[in-house]
């Protein structure tokens, strides 16, 4: 999984911040060096030249400036210092020159026939740049780095419980109620922090949710078991009645209804037992199940004057509990038979999928969305109990199967279940 949590985003922001600060510092050092060279040194040399001209007017024998970092040269009628050729050809002003392998700063100023050359050592410029530019900015940069690091570390520490909580929730299995029960006791957070309040609320909510789901599952199991007995009695009485009076349409319809109810109960029991029964997934041949289903539901289809057939275009198997696939196919075919009225229902086995096609009245988009909800039925006098497609959809979601329904009024319905 790509790591893009809060801490990682915070780290990226911190690194970008340091990069921008470093870039700004480099630009600041460069600007400071230029300011020192072109402003401070230039002004100092100009003032030095003015000062020397004043002294020279008072004393024509005034010696030229000659210090560790500054050398003065003068050419006039009475003075002719040895000026390098490279300097003598330069115009007046402030400039850098290449002199004996070094690049000193030279300020040249002429007054009348006299010309003054002030040569300033570049090493002094570097020292000034370091003292007034690099050193202070480096100190500021270190302070910013340390402050940013401490802020980043404190932010990570504050976010650490939240990240732990997110990781725990991400790896909490929610497919089963017991797996959804949260154990967040080891998440370290201050008792009065927002994270502690969030942890407490999540634990309480998860416990209530698990209790509710388990209570609903228990109710479904109990209700299904309780309904099995009267259905078994009802079926036995129907068989006894049929043996006495023979085949009658009303008895056949009652028998079909009992079969539908029994299938619904088995489905509900399977959904309720998922948490408590280990259902082993094994390869199931879809073709064989489709043929067996056709043989089992053929009497129901014949009574409704519907031609039920299987078309095998591929040999397909799927790893799943056999009852789950049986419930899906049974509900799809029963639903197609109930809503076809007359015509044909085809069970088509494709590569990695199975498709049930009927020639019934079809549905528009609004009816199609309604049919996927529990206890909703289409426009059929023989309609079932309104759970068929909803149960199929739930089972497909559980086993990561894709269900696709296509229908149009007057053109029948196609339901396709893809296993991969």
Q: Residue 186: what pLDDT?
A: 60
First to last CA, the chain: 22
Mean pLDDT over all residues of the chain?
77
**Cα radius of gyration rounded to whole Å, the chain:** 46
d(C-alpha 123, C-alpha 295), whole Å = 103
pLDDT at 353: 94
Q: Where in the chain do CATH 1.10.287.130 domains reside?
A: 173-278
Q: State the span(s) of the chain assigned CATH 3.30.565.10.
A: 279-420
| Strand stretches in 28-184, DSSP E | 70-75, 93-96, 105-111, 114-120
Q: How far is CA 86 from each of CA 95, 99, 153, rounded to the nearest angstrom?
A: 12, 8, 58
Could you give the C-alpha distances from 400 to 12, 72, 344, 395, in angstroms and in order?
A: 36, 90, 29, 8
pLDDT recorded at residue 184:
60
pLDDT at 146: 84
Q: What fold, for 173-278?
A: Helix Hairpins (1.10.287)
User: Which residue would you say has higher pLDDT here, 322 or 174?
Assistant: 322
Note the CATH number of domain 279-420.
3.30.565.10
| pLDDT band for position 382 (cuts 50, 70, 90) | very low
CB within 8 Å of 245: residues ≥ 6 apart:
251
CB atoms within 10 A of CB 367: 17
Distances (CA, A) of 240 to 145, 243, 257, 296, 297: 91, 5, 17, 21, 22
């Amino acid at each position: 999984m790509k790591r893009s949590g809060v801490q990682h985003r915070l780290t990226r922001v911190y690194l970008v911040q340091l990069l921008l600060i470093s870039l700004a510092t480099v630009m600041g050092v460069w600007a400071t060096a230029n300011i020192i060279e072109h402003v401070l040194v230039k002004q100092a040399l100009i003032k030095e030249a003015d000062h020397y001209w004043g002294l020279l007017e008072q004393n024509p024998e005034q010696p030229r400036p000659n210090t560790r970092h500054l050398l003065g040269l003068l050419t006039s009628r009475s003075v002719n210092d040895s000026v390098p050729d490279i300097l003598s050809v330069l115009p007046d002003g402030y400039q850098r020159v290449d002199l004996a392998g070094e690049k000193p700063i030279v300020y040249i100023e002429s007054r009348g026939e006299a010309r003054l050359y002030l040569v300033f050592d570049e090493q002094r410029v570097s020292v000034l740049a370091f003292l007034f530019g690099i050193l202070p900015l480096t100190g500021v940069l270190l302070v910013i780095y340390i402050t940013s690091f401490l802020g980043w570390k404190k932010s990570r520490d504050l976010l650490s419980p939240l990240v732990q909580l997110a990781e725990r929730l991400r790896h909490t299995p929610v497919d089963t109620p017991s797996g959804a029960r949260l154990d967040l006791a080891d998440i370290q957070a201050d008792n009065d922090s927002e994270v502690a309040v969030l942890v407490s609320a999540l634990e309480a909510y998860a416990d209530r949710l698990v209790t509710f789901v388990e209570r609903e599952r228990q109710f479904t199991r109990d209700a299904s078991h309780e309904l099995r007995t009267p259905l078994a009695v009802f079926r036995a009485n129907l068989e006894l009645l049929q043996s006495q009076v023979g085949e009658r349409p009303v008895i056949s319809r009652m028998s079909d209804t009992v079969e539908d109810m029994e299938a619904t109960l088995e489905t509900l029991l399977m959904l309720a037992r998922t948490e408590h029964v280990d259902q082993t997934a094994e390869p199931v041949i879809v073709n064989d199940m489709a043929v067996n289903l056709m043989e089992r539901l053929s009497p129901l289809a014949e009574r409704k004057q519907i031609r039920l057939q299987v078309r095998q275009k591929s040999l397909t198997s799927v790893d799943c509990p056999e009852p789950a696939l049986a419930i899906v196919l049974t509900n799809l075919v029963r639903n197609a038979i109930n809503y076809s009225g007359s015509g044909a229902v085809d069970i088509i086995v494709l590569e990695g999928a199975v498709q049930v096609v009927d020639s019934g009245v079809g549905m528009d988009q609004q009816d199609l969305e309604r049919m996927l909800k529990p206890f909703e039925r289409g426009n059929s006098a023989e309609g079932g109990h309104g759970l068929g497609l909803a149960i199929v959809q739930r089972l497909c979601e559980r086993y990561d199967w894709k269900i696709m329904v296509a229908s149009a009024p007057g053109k029948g319905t196609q339901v396709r279940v893809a296993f991969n």
